[in-house]
Amino acid sequence: MVENNLIYNVQQLSKVYDTGKVKIKALDNISFAVPEGDMLTIMGRSGSGKSTLLRQMGLLDRPTSGGIIFEAMEVTALPEGDRTKLRLTSMGYVFQEYALLGELTAHQNVYLPGMVLGKMGSNYKQRAKELLELVGLGERIGHYPKELSGGEQQRVAIARALINSPSVLLADEPCANLDTISSKAVMETLVKLNAQLKVTIIFISHDPSDKQYAKSLIVLSDGRIAQEGNP
């Protein structure tokens, strides 16, 4: 159990990009906490800092100042090797691009990350099968990406992100490339996973209607929190 039931505690986080000619403040002194088991949506206009914030929380980038406590551990200053291990074992990622390997089946794409950690075997193959069933693709387990719709591919990507049983699933506009029906299926899948697996989910969206799927909300504007609380 995470200390104080918080999976994230973001403290005075700032990120400045120095282009040489000008400095761009993408995040400006942001502080907030995320309870364990939450389903948080981060919203805001293009350029508001949404993806930059998610990259910091996912340890894909380092802030200019401030800190992030993840599962009661200060992770901002960790060596890169430790950050990489934490990403592989405790965090799952879903992006706009499905990034599935075309020569592998849905099943193979899902259990592939287990090989990275040297955990290849029947247990991971069975877990991959169970995850595909959980996201509604049990009958598509042997299909290749080209045989799946965009929404189905994204659900395969979601199952893949969960193969190592992460504490948190980070999704950067997972429905940006999908039609309305496929988007609804993906979002309902995330809600189901949050409820059944108790995994904390943090997703970015530019669609105001996606607030209905969240338990809590942060709206960014010019790198600052403009709104925070219930959707």
What are the boundaries of each domain within the chain?
39-60+86-229
Q: Read out DSSP for 206-230?
A: S-GGGGGG-SEEEEEETTEEEEEE-
- pLDDT band, very low/low/confident/very high, at 1 (cuts 50, 70, 90): very low
- State the Cα angle at 96 between 134 and 88, rounded to 5°: 65
Task: Provide φ and ψ at 31, rounded to 5°.
Answer: -135, 135
**What gap in Å lies between CA 29 and CA 11, rounded to an integer?**
8
pTM assigned to the model = 0.92
> Which one-letter DSSP state was computed for residue 30?
E
SS3 state of residue 12: strand
pLDDT at 121: 58
Confidence of residue 123 (pLDDT cuts 50, 70, 90): confident
Residue 118: the pLDDT is 67
The residue-averaged pLDDT of 113-126 equals: 74
Percent of the chain with pLDDT over 90: 84
Residue 19 in this model has a pLDDT that exceeds 90:
no
Is the model's pLDDT at 3 over the cut of 60? no
CATH tag, 39-60+86-229: 3.40.50.300
Residue-wise pLDDT for 159-193, tens only, equals 999 998 999 999 999 999 899 999 999 999 999 99
